[in-house]
Amino acid sequence: VDPSTLCPLCDKPFPRHPSQRLCQMLHEVKLTSKSDPRPENSMGLLLPTLQRAPFCARHQFERDEIPKARYANWKTEIDLKDIERRLETFQTRFDALVNDCAPGGARELSLFWSKAMHSATESSLKSQGLAGNMATFKSGQVGYYGEQGLQVIDKVLRRIVAIPEGSTNPLTEQQFIAFVLTPEAAVCLISADLNSNRDDAVRTMYDSSTYGNQMFPVDD
């Protein structure tokens, strides 16, 4: 086996097309490790377990999960500028969720509004605060767009959507953006990506959220 195709730490196959993040981590490993040639890998390196753990976790993720993501047509790269541009094309939908409060209107029919209302009724939004709920309220996820996508979606929504004061009660404006508009934006993007119906896009958003947060963390 060509040792250049193996991980220098665990000797298992290295991804053919590693992400920029994994490449940078490999560079750091090479700077801090010691040469440790082995019969199965002449280019082996040695690094203490605690130091190697983040790299090994990322290697395993890219080896095992990215092929699954490609098979499902989930994003393995994202263009943040393109996300901004595309979100602007969905402004009519976002405005309807803000302004159409009539019985049977866009807001009442929204899955994410219903989930937020259920959570608000149980007082969890108020008792835990926005920060606590961002980690626990599933509708705050954006699927395979991950943490980087979440940041862009939040920024664009705050720029293009005007929310009249008090119009989102019992949610605050921040909560309405996080728990209603943000997942709605993700579903719009995913539906367009995969040419899928809304129900399938919602399911994909939930199914791919763990992958997205690992693939596109905010520290990239």
The tens place of each residue's pLDDT in the chain, 220 residues long, gives 899 999 999 999 999 999 999 999 999 999 999 999 999 999 999 999 999 999 999 999 999 999 999 999 999 999 999 999 999 999 999 999 999 888 889 999 999 999 998 887 765 555 555 445 544 554 458 999 999 999 999 999 999 999 999 999 989 999 999 999 999 999 999 999 999 999 999 999 999 999 999 999 987 5
pLDDT at 134: 46
Is 121 exposed, middle or buried, given 0-12, 13-18 or 19+ CB atoms closer than 10 A? exposed
pLDDT at 153: 97
pLDDT at 131: 47
Place of tokens 């219903």: 114
Q: What are phi and psi of 17, to 5 degrees?
A: -125, 75
Cis peptide before 170 (omega within 30 of 0): yes
pLDDT at 149: 96
pLDDT at 102: 86
Helix (H, G, I), strand (E, B) or coil at 16: coil
- The two most distant CA atoms of the chain are separated, in Å, by 72
Place of tokens 């709920």: 133
Provide the token pair at 211.
Answer: 């992958």
Report d(CA 94, CA 181) in Å as an integer. Answer: 7
pLDDT at 123: 58
pLDDT at 121: 74
Report d(CA 66, CA 70) in Å as an integer. Answer: 6
- Going by the DSSP 8-state scheme, the letter that residue 45 receives in this structure is E
Beta strands in the chain (DSSP E): 34-35, 45-46
Read off the pTM.
0.84
